[in-house]
Structure 1
Amino acid sequence: MSQSYIFILKIVIPFSFLPSATGNECLCDLKNLDPVFPKDELTKVETTALKCVRSITSEKMTDLDRLVLGLQQRMKQLEDNVVGLEKENSNLYAAVSLRIIELEFAEIQDLLNKLNQTTNDYQLLSVQATVQLEDMKDTMVKLEKFDKKQVIKKNRENQMKKNLEQCKEELEASSPPPTVSPGRCGLGQLVKVAGPRTSSLTEYSTSYPYGAWGRDANPAPGDENKYWLVVLTSSNVYGYYVRQYSTLSTLLLGIGPKDTYISSSNPTTNTIQGPNMVMYANALYYNCYNTYYVCQFNLATRTVSTVALPSDTGYNSKFPFGHVTSSYSYTDMDFTTDESGIYVIYATTSNFGNVIITKIETSDPPVFKQTWFTSLHKKTATNTFMVCGVLYATRYLDKETERIFYSYDTKTKKERYDLKIKIHKVKTNIEYLNYDPRDHLLYAYSDAYIVTYELIFQ
Structure 2
Amino acid sequence: MFSLLLMCVFGLLLRGDAQDRASLWRGNDQSGRCQYTFTVPSPVESSCPQTGGPEMEGLKARLGMLEVLVSRLTGGQTGGPQAVGARAQSELQEALNRAMGERNLLQGEKERLERELGGLQHRMAEMRREMEKLRNTPCPPQTPIVSPNPSVQNSGPARPAGGSSQMSHLTSRPNRQGDSSSLRDSAWQYRHPGFQEVKAEVTEVPAPDRSEDNTGCGELISVGEPVIHKRADNIAGKYGVWMQDPEAISPYGPSMVWRIDTVGSDVRQLYGYEDMEQLSKGFPSKVLLLPEMVESTGATMYRGSLYYQRRRSRTLIRYDLSTESIASRRDLPHAGFHGQYPYSWGGYTDIDLSVDQQGLWAVYSTSKAKGAIVISQLDPNTLEVKKSWETNIRKSAVANSFIVCGKMYAVASYSAPSTVINYMYDTATSQGKTISIPFRNKYHYNSMIDYNLAQRKLFAWDNFHIVSYDLRLGRKQAN
TM-score using structure 2 length: 0.55
- Cross-structure match for 1:345: 363
Displacement of 1:439: 1.6
Q: Which structure: larger Rg?
A: 2
Of 226, 242, 250, which residue of structure 2 is paired with 1:196? 226
| Counterparts of 2:451 and 2:225, CA distance in 1 | 14
- Cross-structure match for 1:434: 450
- Cross-structure match for 1:3: none
Secondary structure at 2:295 match in 1: strand
Displacement of 1:183: 2.8
1:246 aligns with 2:244: no
| Counterparts of 2:446 and 2:278, CA distance in 1 | 23
- The 1:457/1:216 distance shift into structure 2, 3 A limit, reads same
1:420 aligns with 2:436: yes
| Counterparts of 1:293 and 1:393, CA distance in 2 | 24
| Counterparts of 1:331 and 1:317, CA distance in 2 | 7
| Counterparts of 1:339 and 1:230, CA distance in 2 | 23
Give unmatched runs, 5+ long, in structure 2. 1-104, 126-208, 475-479
Secondary structure at 2:224 match in 1: strand
Secondary structure at 2:279 match in 1: helix
| Counterparts of 1:384 and 1:180, CA distance in 2 | 22
Of 329, 335, 359, which residue of structure 2 is paired with 1:306? 329
1:356 aligns with 2:374: yes
| Counterparts of 1:59 and 1:228, CA distance in 2 | 32
CA contact (8 A) 2:451 2:458 kept: yes
Displacement of 1:296: 1.1
1:227 aligns with 2:257: yes
| Counterparts of 2:214 and 2:331, CA distance in 1 | 29
Q: What one-letter code is carried by the residue in structure 1 that aligns with 2:339?
A: S
1:216 aligns with 2:245: yes
- The 1:328/1:456 distance shift into structure 2, 3 A limit, reads same
- Cross-structure match for 1:387: 404
| Counterparts of 1:186 and 1:234, CA distance in 2 | 38
Displacement of 1:368: 2.0
Aligned positions of 1:72-83 closer than 5 A: none
| Counterparts of 1:245 and 1:255, CA distance in 2 | 7
Displacement of 1:199: 4.3
- Cross-structure match for 1:34: none
| Counterparts of 1:350 and 1:231, CA distance in 2 | 32
Q: What one-letter code is carried by the residue in structure 1 that aligns with 2:417?
A: E
Q: Which has the higher contact order (CA 8 A, sep 6+)?
A: 1
Displacement of 1:256: 3.9
Displacement of 1:374: 1.1
Aligned positions of 1:80-159 closer than 5 A: 126=121
- The 1:292/1:421 distance shift into structure 2, 3 A limit, reads same
Displacement of 1:51: 12
- Percentage of identical aligned residues: 23
Summarize deviations over 1:421-441 as a string: whole Å, max 9, x none. 111122111111100122210
- Cross-structure match for 2:45: none
Displacement of 1:215: 0.8
CA contact (8 A) 1:182 1:188 kept: no
Give unmatched runs, 5+ long, in structure 1. 1-49, 62-121, 131-178, 264-269
CA contact (8 A) 1:240 1:262 kept: yes
Summarize deviations over 1:197-239 as a string: whole Å, max 9, x none. 334303x34542121002112212661111000002415xx51
Displacement of 1:182: 3.2
- The 1:389/1:126 distance shift into structure 2, 3 A limit, reads closer
| Counterparts of 1:299 and 1:278, CA distance in 2 | 13
CA contact (8 A) 2:414 2:441 kept: no
- The 1:308/1:54 distance shift into structure 2, 3 A limit, reads closer
- Cross-structure match for 1:258: 286
RMSD: 3.0
| Counterparts of 1:181 and 1:308, CA distance in 2 | 36
- The 1:184/1:374 distance shift into structure 2, 3 A limit, reads farther
| Counterparts of 2:284 and 2:454, CA distance in 1 | 24
1:329 aligns with 2:347: yes
- The 1:439/1:58 distance shift into structure 2, 3 A limit, reads farther
Displacement of 1:52: 9.8
Displacement of 1:272: 0.5
- The 1:58/1:403 distance shift into structure 2, 3 A limit, reads farther
| Counterparts of 2:450 and 2:414, CA distance in 1 | 19
- The 1:255/1:384 distance shift into structure 2, 3 A limit, reads same
CA contact (8 A) 2:377 2:388 kept: yes
| Counterparts of 2:109 and 2:242, CA distance in 1 | 30
| Counterparts of 1:348 and 1:356, CA distance in 2 | 8
| Counterparts of 2:414 and 2:297, CA distance in 1 | 21
Displacement of 1:187: 3.5
Summarize deviations over 1:398-442 as a string: whole Å, max 9, x none. 53123211111111111012x111111221111111001222100
Displacement of 1:244: 0.2
Q: What one-letter code is carried by the residue in structure 1 that aligns with 2:426?
A: D
| Counterparts of 2:320 and 2:352, CA distance in 1 | 19
Q: What one-letter code is carried by the residue in structure 2 that aligns with 1:194?
A: G
Displacement of 1:290: 1.4
Displacement of 1:367: 2.1
| Counterparts of 1:51 and 1:385, CA distance in 2 | 35
Q: What one-letter code is carried by the residue in structure 2 that aligns with 1:212?
A: V
- The 1:58/1:373 distance shift into structure 2, 3 A limit, reads farther
CA contact (8 A) 1:282 1:299 kept: yes
Query: How many matched pairs?
Result: 284
- The 1:199/1:227 distance shift into structure 2, 3 A limit, reads closer
| Counterparts of 1:315 and 1:59, CA distance in 2 | 44
- The 1:192/1:440 distance shift into structure 2, 3 A limit, reads same
CA contact (8 A) 2:308 2:318 kept: yes
TM-score using structure 1 length: 0.57
- The 1:301/1:457 distance shift into structure 2, 3 A limit, reads same
CA contact (8 A) 1:385 1:435 kept: yes
More displaced, 393-402 or 424-433?
A: 393-402
| Counterparts of 1:362 and 1:220, CA distance in 2 | 14
Displacement of 1:378: 0.6
